[in-house]
Structure 1
Amino acid sequence: MDLLLLAPIGSVLALLFAAYMAYTVMKHSEGTEDMQRIARAVREGANAYLKRQYTGVAIFFAVMFVVLLILALNGFLTIFVPFAFLTGGFFSGLSGFFGMKMATNANARTTNAAKQSLNAGLRVAFSAGTVMGMVVVGLGLLDLSFWYYFLTWFYRDLDAAVRIQSVTSAMLTFGMGASSMALFARVGGGIYTKAADVGADLVGKVEAGIPEDDPRNPAVIADNVGDNVGDVAGMGADLYESYVGSIVSTSALAVAAGLGVDGVTIPMTMAAIGVIASIIGTFFVHAKEDAKQSVLLAALRRGTYISAALIAVISFFLVWQVLGMEHIGVYFAILSGLLAGVIIGYFTEYFTSDSYKPTRDLASTSTTGPATVIIGGLSLGMRSTSVPVIVVGAAVLASYFLAGGAGDFNMGLYGVAIAAVGMLSTLGITLATDAYGPVADNAGGIAEMSHQDPEVRRRTDALDSLGNTTAATGKGFAIGSAALTALALIASFTDEVARIVQTQGLDFKLDISILNPPTLVGLFVGGMLPFLFSSMTMSAVGRAAQSIVMEVRRQFKEIKGLMEGKAEPDYARCVDICTRNAQKEMIAPALTAIVAPLLVGFLLGVNGVAGMLAGATVSGFILAVMMANSGGAWDNAKKYIESGEYGGKGSDSHKAAVVGDTVGDPFKDTSGPSINILIKLLSMVSVVFAAFILQISLF
């Protein structure tokens, strides 16, 4: 049997299971009329936002299609690149869209299920998250399978070695479309959600002293909409891009390593195995009626660990069957990536969950005011970077040498790339635990706004607090996989340059030594880019949040009887402000990622671009981990205080923690998670435009 056929089979299986899980969620009741009305308002706001975003992004994709087509017609790219760019972006956006539709249909159903029991609420929210996870891997495999089989048919008359090189070289470029869509979705959604969240918290909780998700707060619907467009649609597009990026870069490096079709078979088949393992893992996620976060964490961990164990076992037989015992080191490279993902996830939980000492210590700093909370959160985030850096470094070394890097440099690079595939092989269930969080968060808001029994809110708060931790874990997982994928893409870039130089007979020598001035300057520029990018996205959130703060203050002042609960706020106005600001503010950061490689390529040449990619990967990885973990810890420290510690809700400690949380919101939900897309998009753009950069460079 041709094992590559498992890729399209796995795609169909994932999409069918997603449809089944969606059906099971939709069978649950949305509850009371009030709950249905609120859920409907959130759905309408999310749909309106995505419609406006996708309309704007469609213009960008149309322009880029024309640019790529012109380059292709002039011989700089293969003719398939413009079309692959479109399909990559389309499927990336589609995966986010399906995930968001499911999340907005599951929020009130989760609230209603939480009336029955904590486990019932967990199952509904997690099932909705599973739809997101399965849609991402299903559509990713569908896109990969289509291009692989189409290009194999198109190049059928070429020699086998030349054919597989042509196929993988063309496939490598469609990741640029997925990366571009992911960045727009992540940045735009992140600006939207955090502008609404920060604005609602600063005026509602801090100034007016009303509870979170209080229906009197005009920004509360916008806040709930934001959870879906940022943390579901954005995250789905983000991890779709990581998933396909790791597989296509590994496939390209397989050719350089001399493994041919067999080397491509391993990552494609592993992705299909991951689908089956993730489906099995979902059936092990359940909890007893106990609101302790450690119990809930154990429930979600159980599913992820079982999936990882299944992949670890089956991958051995896959590598043995396809590559033989002489390359069994590739299996251990896969294990190193899989293990690295599990370790990064565990330590992200350790630094961000209020079940552990770091976040509890951070909560204690609230007794002396907002300044110490902010100092403590920054310190925690910086400290938390040590473990992921060491783990990823160990995974790179282990995968390189285990795959045979000591004897064959290209085999070592293939090992690093396959480690990234190993880390992402459990994506179906890992993303399910991540996308579950926004559903639980919305469920808590609906419970508050529809005046449910306090016990229902207690259960949804327990699910929401867990969601903050799983979201932080998902971000750590995405950032760790981005670092490995980016390394593989840098290797793919240098391979692509070497291939172009050889086939076109150019007089050029690649020199990426740090003693080479263009490479060194590129290294500094790349190290700076994540900071510049973060500055742009943080400022965008700040400006958008100011607009919401002013609007909420205006409504509290001008709408008579609003604070007494006798009048209805103008929710739609806040939704519209967030939507307009997010669309406007996302353009500059997204274009930076596309323009930077071309500008550096023009000024410093290919060597400078390689330096830029290395610098951006190193600084971006560390900065993203720091931001994600600081933000997650600030959020859970606030929730820990709300559970009754240090004075509980409304106390001075709580107000200090809210200020810390508002700083952490753009850290963990806008800038931090967008950086991992930035470092991969820089690499993808560099690969696609490699031939063009070689021709137009000043060096």
Structure 2
Amino acid sequence: MEEVQIQTVAIIASLISLGFAAFLTWTVVKKDQGSDQVKFIGKAIQEGAMAFLSREYRLLAAFVIVVAIILALFIDYDVLNRIGESSESIPGTAIAYLVGAIGSAFAGFIGMSIAVRANTRTAVQAIDGLNPALRVAFNSGAVMGLSVVGLALIGVTLMLIAFNNDVGIVAGFGFGASSIALFARVGGGIYTKAADVGADLVGKVEQGIPEDDPRNPATIADNVGDNVGDVAGMGADLFESYVGSIVAAVALAGSAGALASGQSDLMLFPLLVASIGIISSILGTFLVRTGEGADMGRLLWSLRTGIFSAGALVLAGTAGLILYFDLDFDLFYVVLIGLVAGQLIGTASEYYTSYEYKPTRKLAEQSETGPATIMIGGLGLGMMSTVIPGVVIVAAMWGSYELANLYGVALAAVGMLSTLGITLATDAYGPVADNAGGIAEQAALDPEVRERTDALDSLGNTTAATGKGFAIGSAVLTALALMAAYAGVVQEARGVPLTLDLMNTDVMMGLIIGSIMPFVFSALTMQAVGRAAYAMVQEVRRQFREIKGLLDGTAEPDYAKAVDISTAGAMKEMVLPGMIAIVVPVVVGIYSVEALGGLLMGSIATGFLFAIMMANAGGAWDNAKKYIESGMFGGKGSDQHSAAVVGDTVGDPFKDTSGPALNILLKLMSIVALVFGPLFIG
């Protein structure tokens, strides 16, 4: 197999992906923006989102430069003389780190830019019907999905070419992507939930005004939050998973054991799978459409058609390539395992969080006896929902390891993420539909428009739950593969394998510290949301108290002040969780490489289950509330509804801040171990 040929294929596929994303952007932006009132609301959301992003990126730029200098000094130039190699003439790891960070930030920027332009256009298209609105919202999501995979694949490929397949240096690219992803996820999550909780508690509960009411000062901040958390944050998260899985597979190509294929073939095979995935995702987007008056089932099926078709095309393409290049056919089964595992975890999340199914309906019923029982029921549901994803991940690990050793685990993650171009599209479209509903409400558009955007929003909630499960599953496989790559680095430097024996006290200490990490990290993010939401609640109450005529609609609220409070809170609160994720593995690694191995094992085991529990409990509380709002158990305004709103308010930071951020914690700690590994052994 020609190395140059494969790298060329990967670059061409990436450019096609970015080109198609640009075409979709044009199809969205040329649509009508509607009345002056719609434009005004859209502009306020756009300005708020961009203000947040520019402040976040300015803060992150300083952090990234400091880390790049540390990498250049201690890894590339080895100033402590611990690695024992001659100093590099070019600081490759530092350069790769900077490129990875810029790529991740750019992916988030693209997703945010299109989402804040598509929301008004989706609302306006909903005047004409359901299908035009679905197309605009979905196309904006596809821009995000295809930009993420295009930038990630071209970035990894160019790093492999530039640094002659040096995995240690290319891991720096993954580290850069992870750093930005963590701060984007945590910062975006704190912002969106502070605004959401503030808007709900004062607006809905205290003042009794509907969701997205223009009289609520936190309404615009809430709409901005949907974009910074669910679009920019999710994009950076999956950009990092995508990069991490490829980096791990390349690093583990030498460990493929009994496979007949050569090591150089196996190093580049993930690039081919990713390239096929991009083309398959583009073809899949053409199949997403629906008829007028479609119910939830029909809408969901239209998205599933696109995803399943893309998956089938990936499998067909992978089989063709394996036969063409005369590779071991076991690789096909590994990719199949990854794809199927991703779908199963997503489907399990949907079962536990959608009100179409028994668990969430049962949870809604518990609102009959007040907030306490709905809280207890939601926590129990979340804990029980870890079983299926846990079993699926164990089965996927076993199957892929049996077929292709540790390389198989990494390749299964690549397979799972191969259709990310379209999977992320179905996820990123949700916030656009949600925003469109808010705009329809604030601009007082026809009630039929709100019904259509609500149908799309309900679908968005379901795909978001599926997407979160998918993101967590892919994070676990990626983190496991990166941990295996770290063990490989230690073995290469020492000449003996890294044995993580539980009778070794270093390993056991690391295991316990690693198990603590997801809890500390989640506590910090939950408390951060609480503090930021408190500031928001105080501001919204102040405006209702001091602005005369606000409640009867004769005066305008100060939206910008609420946006500023959420932004400032998120910036301040995201620093500590982010620093802990990077500093703790380095400190433990300096003490002992075995302890660091234990830390990674502990964090992956507890973090995976905790993330699933939080995402599904939060999703179920949210949809139990929506089920009651549809007229069940007393409907809107009833005591049952008030109980469900309490559950939803607690569930918000569960599913949108702490849960999703744990994915990145697992991957980031593993990649920190991989990048700094040589330093710990010296």
TM-score bin (small chain): over 0.9
- Measured in 2, the distance between the counterparts of 1:387 and 1:671 equals 21
1:596-675 paired onto structure 2 within 5 Å: 596-603=584-591, 605-675=592-662
- Measured in 2, the distance between the counterparts of 1:688 and 1:108 equals 43
**SS at structure 2 position matched to 1:124:** helix
1:572 alignment partner in structure 2: 560
Name stretches of at least 5 consecutive residues in structure 2 with no aligned partner. Answer: none
1:464 alignment partner in structure 2: 457
Query: 2:198 aligned with 1:199, yes or no?
Result: yes
Contact 1:266 1:318 in 2 (8 A): no
Q: Which moved more, 1:258-267 or 1:467-476?
A: 258-267
1:499 alignment partner in structure 2: 492
Tell me the CA shift for residue 200 of structure 1.
Answer: 0.5
Residue deviations 1:564-602 (CA, integer Å, cap 9, x gap): 111111111110000001000000000010001012123
Residue deviations 1:380-404 (CA, integer Å, cap 9, x gap): 111111110011110000111122x
Tell me the CA shift for residue 458 of structure 1.
Answer: 1.1
Pairing partner for 2:153 from 141, 160, 165: 141
Q: Which moved more, 1:121-130 or 1:168-177?
A: 168-177
- Measured in 1, the distance between the counterparts of 2:491 and 2:403 equals 25
Query: 2:521 aligned with 1:533, yes or no?
Result: yes
1:32 alignment partner in structure 2: 35
Contact 1:294 1:355 in 2 (8 A): no
Tell me the CA shift for residue 291 of structure 1.
Answer: 4.8
1:481 alignment partner in structure 2: 474
- Measured in 1, the distance between the counterparts of 2:369 and 2:616 equals 22
Aligned residue pairs, count = 666
Contact 2:490 2:497 in 1 (8 A): no
Q: Which moved more, 1:629-638 or 1:183-192?
A: 629-638
- Measured in 2, the distance between the counterparts of 1:413 and 1:511 equals 15
Name stretches of at least 5 consecutive residues in structure 1 with no aligned partner. Answer: 153-163, 404-411, 503-507
Query: 2:100 aligned with 1:84, yes or no?
Result: no
**SS at structure 2 position matched to 1:625:** helix
Q: Which moved more, 1:367-376 or 1:261-270?
A: 367-376
1:400 alignment partner in structure 2: 401
Letter in 2 for 1:69: A
Query: 2:147 aligned with 1:109, yes or no?
Result: no
Aligned residues: percent identity? 56
1:114-513 paired onto structure 2 within 5 Å: 114-152=126-164, 164=165, 167-257=166-256, 259-324=262-327, 327-403=328-404, 412-502=405-495, 510-513=498-501
CA-atom RMSD in angstroms: 1.3
- Measured in 1, the distance between the counterparts of 2:40 and 2:189 equals 25
- Measured in 1, the distance between the counterparts of 2:415 and 2:387 equals 22
Contact 2:93 2:168 in 1 (8 A): no
Tell me the CA shift for residue 257 of structure 1.
Answer: 3.2
**SS at structure 1 position matched to 2:293:** coil
- Measured in 2, the distance between the counterparts of 1:427 and 1:383 equals 27
- Measured in 1, the distance between the counterparts of 2:503 and 2:462 equals 43
Tell me the CA shift for residue 647 of structure 1.
Answer: 2.2
- Measured in 2, the distance between the counterparts of 1:236 and 1:197 equals 20
- Measured in 2, the distance between the counterparts of 1:501 and 1:513 equals 17
Distance change (3 Å), C-alpha of 1:291 and 1:637: farther
Q: Which moved more, 1:338-347 or 1:84-93?
A: 338-347
Tell me the CA shift for residue 145 of structure 1.
Answer: 1.7
- Measured in 2, the distance between the counterparts of 1:555 and 1:647 equals 32
**SS at structure 2 position matched to 1:234:** helix
Q: Which moved more, 1:339-348 or 1:643-652?
A: 643-652
- Measured in 2, the distance between the counterparts of 1:3 and 1:598 equals 35
Tell me the CA shift for residue 369 of structure 1.
Answer: 1.4
1:70 alignment partner in structure 2: 73
Tell me the CA shift for residue 511 of structure 1.
Answer: 2.8
Contact 1:293 1:462 in 2 (8 A): yes
Tell me the CA shift for residue 322 of structure 1.
Answer: 3.1
**SS at structure 2 position matched to 1:647:** coil
- Measured in 1, the distance between the counterparts of 2:321 and 2:37 equals 53
Tell me the CA shift for residue 669 of structure 1.
Answer: 0.7
Q: TM-score, normalised to structure 1's length?
A: 0.94
- Measured in 1, the distance between the counterparts of 2:18 and 2:32 equals 24
Tell me the CA shift for residue 4 of structure 1.
Answer: 2.9
Distance change (3 Å), C-alpha of 1:581 and 1:350: same
**SS at structure 1 position matched to 2:633:** helix
- Measured in 1, the distance between the counterparts of 2:292 and 2:206 equals 36
- Measured in 1, the distance between the counterparts of 2:652 and 2:618 equals 6
Letter in 2 for 1:205: K
- Measured in 2, the distance between the counterparts of 1:323 and 1:232 equals 40
Letter in 2 for 1:446: I
